[in-house]
Amino acid sequence: MRFPSPVAATWLADLLGAELLGNTDAFANGINEIHKVEEGDVCFVDHPKYYSRCLNSAATFIIINNKDVEIPNGKTLLVADEPFECYLKIVKHFQPFEKQVEPIHPSAKIGEGSYIMPNVFIGNHVTIGKNCTIHPHVSLLDYTEIGDNVIIQSNTVIGSHAFYYNTKKNREIWYKRMESCGKVVIENDVEIGAGCTIDKGVTAATVLGQGTKLDNGIHIGHDTVVGKNCLFAAHVVIAGGVIIEDGVTLWGQVVVNKTLTIGKNAVVLGMAGVANNIEGNKTYWGVPAQDASVERRELVWIKRIPELWKKVMG
């Protein structure tokens, strides 16, 4: 999430009630998760296991619960007992919940030639490009960005919060929601079927690339980036943080595990389970998904087992 304008380290420390160490004159541009951070960003860390990764990341500002760590050159530490609570405070300050009583928020921008059918909900700061068709009962939630020539079928929800929780077993409620302050970006010429759900990024964007087509009943998790001209059949489920390169085809009921990459022009056949990174320009099948030609040969040999057993027992 980008801040509306850069904010001073001293201002952040006051907001969070944190102790300021290191470069106290720096200005922060936004807040991001560790795998999305850029120079000028704020990130948080609350477990010693991840101190080094966070301190040595691109982030300029680190909210941390230990003041005795070595501060890398140019970094700013914001020391607080509960870094996760500080993250929530920043998100709620810059993206507070806004009650909405009208179906289309006044801040929404809708391009020329776009047709919004009855009973569509459009949230705060949503943008819709030119010549789009949004069918009944679609929900476009806050900060969603829709390109030109996009078609979205009925009962689809775009921009719902990520299924993403901070976990601590030493508190009464183990799982506490990590509030999403990212967005969904739908590029030009995308078509989305009925009853699909697409989660917003936790701090960045979930993206559907230009020309991609989705069938009905598909779920795409937070921060997943889908390339151009991909084709997904019904009931595909994609977890968070996945990278799907251009031209990928996922047939019906394929399930894709989190934080992996599917290479360009790969084809995954129906009901497969993608558990690891897979290369492009190949066809995959099975659970876990593997080269379809290998899987077929294995099935042939499995069917021959009774015959071979009879010969052995002869």
Q: What positions carry a catalytic annotation?
A: 222
Of the candidates 289, 96, 257, 98, the one whose C-alpha atom is nearest the C-alpha of residue 179 is 96
Alpha carbon distance 221, 162 (integer Å): 7
Encoding tokens for residue 88?
């929530």
Give yes or no for a contact between 229 and 249, defined as CB atoms under 8 angstroms apart: no
Residue 88, phi then psi, degrees to nearest 5: -60, -40
Distances (CA, A) of 20 to 26, 36, 43, 311: 11, 23, 14, 77
User: How far apart are the C-alpha atoms of 30 and 95, rounded to whole Å?
Assistant: 12
Amino acid sitting at position 25: D
Q: How far apart are CA 55 and CA 71, in angstroms?
A: 7
Token couple for 16: 């969070």
All residues at 6 or more sequence positions from 5 whose CB lies less than 8 Å from its CB, including other chains: none
Name the DSSP letter for residue 120.
Answer: -
Q: Structure tokens of 297?
A: 């040969």
